[in-house]
């Protein structure tokens, strides 16, 4: 489809917001279905639509606060989402008011069901535009109660507020490079833990070294899991729940002989693509880890268990709107069963890293405490990694990483990582 002065991207962004906020669909799901609002968009419009939708979701609460003085009653969902988009473009992106207001009004006018409200939208957005200097002073969006409450209980209100402040900003782009390689990218910051950070990304595939497979995208927190397992050259390593493969690539680049297992065929195809791009190799197994048995035990296993992904809200601000926490008990149960199963694949004296991209203790600290009680002889080894603040180590010996760690340089994903050792 040809570009039409920002209309196509904005129209698709409004449709994405409708699907997330009214239908409860995650953006990652919508992007993959054939009837997606992104289908048939030019790549630049697609990127614009996603960026705008994500920005609105990060600031939805502020947008509603800014709009409410000018709305006598709540308009239909699509019109409200169009107004939210306009408001966030005016208040956060600081976009030119004329272009924003005209685009939103044109989009509404072009829809026979909504055209009658285009005049109202015009008037409201002009009022919002006049007061846009006040947008930055509105309170930062809070996490939903089902998530906020256990976090306040675990880390306290100031820490949760600090996490929310980081989550209100776009996440930086973190890279993991092959050992000994320093990507030659302008503005790249080497991080104390060995990852590299770019404050803002642009088109990742256009960055130097991408095509050559010198590095891959992986949050600095996520990169610590395989560093903690510390695979040795030639060592057999099992990467359980491996796709799309950030940690498999790390182990393979360190020279390990990796078996990457995941239940999802489509996600493993992405892992295969990542191996191909980086010129690395691994054995790939499509299987349910709960029903698979290795041909022989492993001395080193990494288990990146499925979880709430509540540590990744700054990258996936749609999650609070499509989840309600009702799947947490089932996830915690699956994590415990996967951990027990994985421990059964270990050779005596072997080591296992358990990790989740969650900020909830139920998916981290509590899992390890319970596993230690279930498995006499199992112990936790305290992490000793470059760049890791000793304050990040929790009482049971795991690494608790939170979005507000490194807040001054853009934060990190929430993660929990523990290194377990089986008795000889």
Cα(390)–Cα(398) distance, integer angstroms:
11
- Figure out which of the listed residues 59, 247, 351, 405 binds ligand SAM, where binding follows CB under 6 A: 247
Instruction: Confirm or reject binding of residue 342 to ligand SAM (CB under 6 A).
Output: no
- Figure out which of the listed residues 241, 313, 332, 360 binds ligand SAM, where binding follows CB under 6 A: 241
Instruction: Confirm or reject binding of residue 341 to ligand SAM (CB under 6 A).
Output: no
Q: Closer to ligand SAM at the Cβ: 86 or 311?
A: 311
357 catalytically annotated: yes
Cα(313)–Cα(19) distance, integer angstroms:
18
Tokens 């030639």 correspond to: 234
Q: Are 196 and 174 in contact (CB under 8 A)?
A: yes
In the complex, residue closest to ligand SAM by CB: 241
Instruction: Confirm or reject binding of residue 293 to ligand SAM (CB under 6 A).
Output: no
Segment interacting with ligand SAM (CB under 6 A) among 143-151, 242-250, 322-330, 408-416: 242-250
- Beta-bridge mates of residue 168: none
Q: Closer to ligand SAM at the Cβ: 80 or 224?
A: 224
Segment interacting with ligand SAM (CB under 6 A) among 238-246, 314-322, 362-370, 414-422: 238-246
18 annotated ligand-binding residue? no
Q: How far is the CB of 193 from ligand SAM (least distance, A)?
A: 16
Token pair of 384 as six digits: 């000793």
Identify which of 418, 404, 413, 266 has the alpha carbon closest to the alpha carbon of residue 342: 418
What single string gives the DSSP state of each residue in 279-313?
A: T---EEEES-TTT---SS-EEEEEEE-----GGGT
Segment interacting with ligand SAM (CB under 6 A) among 107-115, 153-161, 171-179, 240-248: 240-248
Instruction: Confirm or reject binding of residue 306 to ligand SAM (CB under 6 A).
Output: yes
Q: How far is the CB of 310 from ligand SAM (least distance, A)?
A: 12
Q: How far is the CB of 90 from ligand SAM (least distance, A)?
A: 36
Q: How far is the CB of 268 from ligand SAM (least distance, A)?
A: 8
Instruction: Confirm or reject binding of residue 58 to ligand SAM (CB under 6 A).
Output: no
Q: How far is the CB of 358 from ligand SAM (least distance, A)?
A: 9
Cα(141)–Cα(69) distance, integer angstroms:
18
333 annotated ligand-binding residue? no
In the set 101, 121, 307, 357, the catalytic residue is 357
Q: Between residue 351 and residue 410, which ones bind ligand SAM under the rule CB under 6 A?
A: 357
Query: Which spans in 303-389 are helix H?
Result: 319-322, 328-343, 365-374
Tokens 């680049």 correspond to: 253
Token pair of 31 as six digits: 């992007």
Identify which of 287, 302, 293 has the alpha carbon closest to the alpha carbon of residue 344: 293
What is the contact mask toward ligand SAM in residues 263 to 292, using x (rule: CB under 6 A)? xx--x--------------------xxx--
CB count, 10 Å around CB of 423? Answer: 11
Tokens 């008037």 correspond to: 123
Segment interacting with ligand SAM (CB under 6 A) among 5-13, 28-36, 195-203, 241-249: 241-249
Q: Closer to ligand SAM at the Cβ: 127 or 341?
A: 341
Cα(373)–Cα(116) distance, integer angstroms:
64
- Beta-bridge mates of residue 196: 175, 190
Three-state SS at 355: strand
Q: How far is the CB of 300 from ligand SAM (least distance, A)?
A: 15
Where is 190: in which H helix or E strand?
strand 189-190
Segment interacting with ligand SAM (CB under 6 A) among 87-95, 237-245, 324-332, 372-380: 237-245
Identify which of 51, 118, 124 has the alpha carbon closest to the alpha carbon of residue 89: 51
Q: How far is the CB of 191 from ligand SAM (least distance, A)?
A: 18
262 annotated ligand-binding residue? yes
Q: Closer to ligand SAM at the Cβ: 55 or 308?
A: 308
**Long-range contact set of residues 386-394: C-beta below 8 Å, sequence gap at least 24:** 386/192, 386/193, 386/194, 387/191, 387/192, 387/193, 387/194, 388/193, 388/224, 394/364, 394/365
Q: Closer to ligand SAM at the Cβ: 68 or 326?
A: 326
Token pair of 122 as six digits: 């015009």
Three-state SS at 416: strand
Q: Closer to ligand SAM at the Cβ: 136 or 287?
A: 287
Binding residues: 241-247, 262, 288, 304
Binding residues for S-adenosyl-L-methionine: 241-247, 262, 288, 304
Residues that bind ligand SAM (CB under 6 A): 241-247, 262-264, 267, 288-290, 304, 306, 357
């Amino acid at each position: 489809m040809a570009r039409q002065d920002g209309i196509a991207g904005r129209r698709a962004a409004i449709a994405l917001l409708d699907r997330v906020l009214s239908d409860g669909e995650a953006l990652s799901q919508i992007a993959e279905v054939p009837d997606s609002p992104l289908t048939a968009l030019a790549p630049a419009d697609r990127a614009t639509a996603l960026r705008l939708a994500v920005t609105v979701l990060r600031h939805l609460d502020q947008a509603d606060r800014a709009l409410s003085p000018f709305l006598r009653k709540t308009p239909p969902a699509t019109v409200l989402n169009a107004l939210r988009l306009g408001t966030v473009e005016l208040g956060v992106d600081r976009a030119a008011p004329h272009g924003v207001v005209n685009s939103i009004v044109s989009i509404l006018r072009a829809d026979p069901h909504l055209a009658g409200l285009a005049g109202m939208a015009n008037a409201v957005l002009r009022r919002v535009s006049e007061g846009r200097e006040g947008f930055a002073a509105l309170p930062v969006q809070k996490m939903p109660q089902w998530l906020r409450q256990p976090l306040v209980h675990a880390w306290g209100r100031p820490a949760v507020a600090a996490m929310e402040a980081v989550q209100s900003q776009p996440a930086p782009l973190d890279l993991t490079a092959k050992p000994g390689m320093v990507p030659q990218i302008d503005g790249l910051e080497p991080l104390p833990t060995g990852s590299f950070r770019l404050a803002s990304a642009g088109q990742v595939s256009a960055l130097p070294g991408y095509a050559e497979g010198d590095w891959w995208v992986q949050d600095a927190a996520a990169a610590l899991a395989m560093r903690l397992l510390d695979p040795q050259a030639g060592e057999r390593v099992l990467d359980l729940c491996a796709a799309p493969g950030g940690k498999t690539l790390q182990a393979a680049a360190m020279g390990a002989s990796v078996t990457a297992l995941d239940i999802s065929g489509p996600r493993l195809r992405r892992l295969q693509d990542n191996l191909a791009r980086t010129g690395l190799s691994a054995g790939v197994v499509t299987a349910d880890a709960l029903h698979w048995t290795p041909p022989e035990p492993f001395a080193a296993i990494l288990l990146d268990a499925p979880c709430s992904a509540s540590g990744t809200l700054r990258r996936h601000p749609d999650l609070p709107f499509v989840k309600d926490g009702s799947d947490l008990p089932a996830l915690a149960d699956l994590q415990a069963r996967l951990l027990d199963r994985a421990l059964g694949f270990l050779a005596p004296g072997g080591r296992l890293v358990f990790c989740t991209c969650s900020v909830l203790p139920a998916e981290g600290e509590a899992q390890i405490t319970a596993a230690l009680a279930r498995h006499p002889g199992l112990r936790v080894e305290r992490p000793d990694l470059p760049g890791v603040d000793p304050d990040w180590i929790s009482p049971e010996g795991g690494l608790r990483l939170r979005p507000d760690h490194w807040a001054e340089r853009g934060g990190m994903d929430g993660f929990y990582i523990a290194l377990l050792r089986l008795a000889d």
